Amino acid sequence: MAAKNITVDIVIVGAGMVGLTLANLLAKQGKAIAIVDRSEVAAFKDHQQIESRVTAVSPGSQAIFEHVNAWSAMQAKRVSAFQHMHVWDEKGDSQIHFNANDLGRDNLGHIVENFVIQSSLHEVLQQQDKVEWLLPEHINKVIAFQDHAEVELDSGTVLSAKLVVGADGGRSTIRNLAEISYTEKSYQQTGLVALVESEHAHNNTAWQRFLSTGPLALLPINNGQEDNNVCSIVWSVSDDYADELMKLNEYEFADALTQASEMQLGNITLKSKCAAFPLISGQAERMVQARIALVGDAAHALHPLAGQGANLGFTDAAVLADVLQRSSTEWERDIGSLKVLRKYERARVGETKIMQSAMDAFVTAFGSSSGAMVSARNAALRTADSIQPVKKFFMKHAMGLSKSRPGYAR
């Protein structure tokens, strides 16, 4: 790629799901954008094999995708609505069941492959003007000046913009170059992800069982058939147990998974290889500084047990886009100024910290085998299941339907 100088309004580093969500929102506002990533975005092909890495897209996130006309592109590929969620504990008899009908809705959300989300956002964005694609490219340097920032790429190309957004994941280059400190905590757990087929139909229900070794989620995939038996699993286990599981052959692993699910869907068989990744909690010291903003995993990382990590990132994108849009029409027009960016940070830092604290509490509470803790969490589940206002409160927040949600998510 020949070296050149490019001037845009905003540089977004990271062409993953959150970065492309933000890019679509800003492009629809008419802003000039440059997108930088180490990798090309692969195109979705007809009869593409189902992938195991999925996101439980909340109705709030769906609204964001609808706003940028990407939801219909996802529906044309594969989205799997789920109407129910059933949660139960390995120890004791407590359980809680969520039903979309309780909120007068058709579903609680959709299970969508990450690749479907990314490729659909990419397709829609390619139809927009004023978008510069720099893929694949590596960032060498970021320099913040008083009235703009410059991003120097390994190819020698220099990007000049009012704002640089780091949407480049947990190992964010932008965060590191901006010298924003990042606090990371290991759960001493490993996440195991795979595609499975169950003996019994999943009935468009997301199933989650809390085990002493960590939570197991079976997320329903609708493959176009009347009876659907395909699920994506997210199994969080201790690092030592993960090592044991990964050494099993596919039949032994499937048997362990069947037992862990308490045969809720009958016998389970593997349809893909199992992937493993470390589970961590992370938080950037700050989400912004002059000319720099962080979104998604670059700003915060969560345990996957509630499936809220990606949705939190999509909301970051929606809030930042809303702040930049309003600032463009106000007296303060410098969208990269610290004054403007702090509006975004103030709107997001509270929710992300509350969500992280909640996930840490869940991991601690449901990972304990002490008699007192088992009794307490069983009582909590029974209470939440029996009191409709409490259950509806949790449902609305998990679905991204709280009153405080950004305009793009309404």
What is the mean predicted confidence (pLDDT) over 40-46? 92
Co-location of 35 and 145 in the same domain: yes
- The tens digit of pLDDT for each residue in 237-264 reads 999 999 999 999 999 999 999 999 999 9
Q: Which of 279, 304, 323 is the last residue of a domain?
A: 279
pTM above 0.85, yes or no: yes
Lowest average pLDDT, out of 31-35, 287-291, 344-348, 374-378, goes to 374-378
* Confidence at residue 252, expressed as pLDDT on a 0 to 100 scale: 97
Tokens standing for residue 279: 């589970």
Inter-residue contact 216 to 233 (CB < 8 Å): yes
- Report if residue 98 sits inside a domain: no
* Interval 325-332 mean pLDDT: 73
In this structure, the answer to whether residues 399 and 339 fall within a common structural domain is yes
| Cα–Cα distance for residue pair 233/216, rounded to 1 Å | 7
pLDDT of residue 389: 61
Residue 140 has pLDDT above 90, yes or no: yes
- Do residues 94 and 381 make contact, with C-beta atoms less than 8 angstroms apart? yes
Same domain, 366 and 295: yes
pLDDT (average), residues 349-371:
70
Given a cut of 70, whether residue 391 has pLDDT beyond it is no
For 294-304, how does the pLDDT look when each residue is reduced to its tens digit (9 = 90+)?
A: 999 999 998 77
Q: What is the mean pLDDT of the chain?
A: 88
What CATH number has the domain bearing residue 369?
3.50.50.60
Structure tokens given for 344: 């975004």
pLDDT at position 83 over 90: yes
Residues 6 or more apart whose Cβ sits within 8 Å of residue 400: 58, 59, 60, 61, 63, 311, 315, 409
Question: What is the pLDDT confidence band of residue 211, given thresholds at 50, 70 and 90?
Answer: confident
Q: Is residue 90 part of a domain?
A: no
Cα distances (angstroms) measured from residue 82 to each of 56, 99, 101, 111: 9, 9, 12, 7
Strand 33-36 and strand 10-13: pairing? parallel
Phi-psi region at 400: left, alpha or beta (left = phi > 0; alpha = psi -120 to 50): left
User: Are residues 138 and 207 part of one domain?
Assistant: no
Same domain, 356 and 339: yes
Provide the domain limits for residue 402: 5-80+103-184+280-409
Shared domain check, 225 and 119: no
pLDDT at 225: 56
90-104 pLDDT, tens digit per residue, is 877 777 888 888 888
Residue 201 located in a structural domain: yes
Lowest mean pLDDT among 109-113, 158-162, 390-394: 390-394
Q: Is residue 347 part of a domain?
A: yes
Q: What is the pLDDT, as a whole number, of residue 305?
A: 66
Using pLDDT thresholds of 50, 70 and 90, give the confidence band for residue 308.
confident
* Measured distance CA(298)–CA(294) in Å, rounded: 6
Whether the Cβ atoms of residue 27 and residue 128 lie closer than 8 Å to each other: yes
Contact between 164 and 67 (Cβ < 8 Å): no
Give the rounded percent of residues in the chain with a pLDDT score beyond 90. Answer: 68
Per-residue pLDDT band at 23 (split at 50, 70, 90): very high
In which band, very low, low, confident or very high, does the pLDDT at 368 lie, cut at 50, 70 and 90? low
